[in-house]
Amino acid sequence: GDSVTQMEGPVTLSEEAFLTINCTYTATGYPSLFWYVQYPGEGLQLLLKATKADDKGSNKGFEATYRKETTSFHLEKGSVQVSDSAVYFCALGGGGADGLTFGKGTHLIIQP
């Protein structure tokens, strides 16, 4: 069945550091890939998406490229801020299973 694997953390970085959160997936068909972010006490917000191979999603300085050959969708940001502290979820939809399939989430902590 469909599955998503991501580093769980916590990942602790200093402000202005480079961020990479790895995400790999297993799916049948041709899924769409998503990154969602959850701030403390809030629901999930869509951060970015990509619908086909080689698509790059980007938003608020975050980027991720849909790599079919490596079945990956790694999240990157060039310079993180304290306000980026949150839990980040990689997810896929349309791979064969119903609904979205989520990774376990990566807790990101940015220190000033």
Partner 1 sequence: DSGVTQTPKHLITATGQRVTLRCSPRSGDLSVYWYQQSLDQGLQFLIQYYNGEERAKGNILERFSAQQFPDLHSELNLSSLELGDSALYFCASSVEGDRLAKNIQYFGAGTRLSVL
Binding site for partner 1 (CB under 8 A): 29, 31-32, 34, 36, 41-46, 49, 51, 89, 93-105
Handedness of CA 59, 89, 46, 109 (dihedral sign): negative
- Which of 9/94 has CB closer to partner 1? 94
Strand partners, 14: 111
* Minimum distance from residue 76 beta carbon to partner 1 (Å): 21
Reduce the DSSP state of residue 83 to 3 states and report it. Answer: helix
How far apart CA 82 and CA 108 sit, in angstroms, is: 10
- Which of 37/110 has CB closer to partner 1? 37
* Minimum distance from residue 93 beta carbon to partner 1 (Å): 3
Give the ranges where 52-112 is alpha helix by DSSP (H): none
* Minimum distance from residue 87 beta carbon to partner 1 (Å): 10
111 is written with which tokens? 């220190």
- Which of 25/80 has CB closer to partner 1? 25
* Minimum distance from residue 66 beta carbon to partner 1 (Å): 13
Alpha-carbon Rg for the chain, nearest whole angstrom, is 13
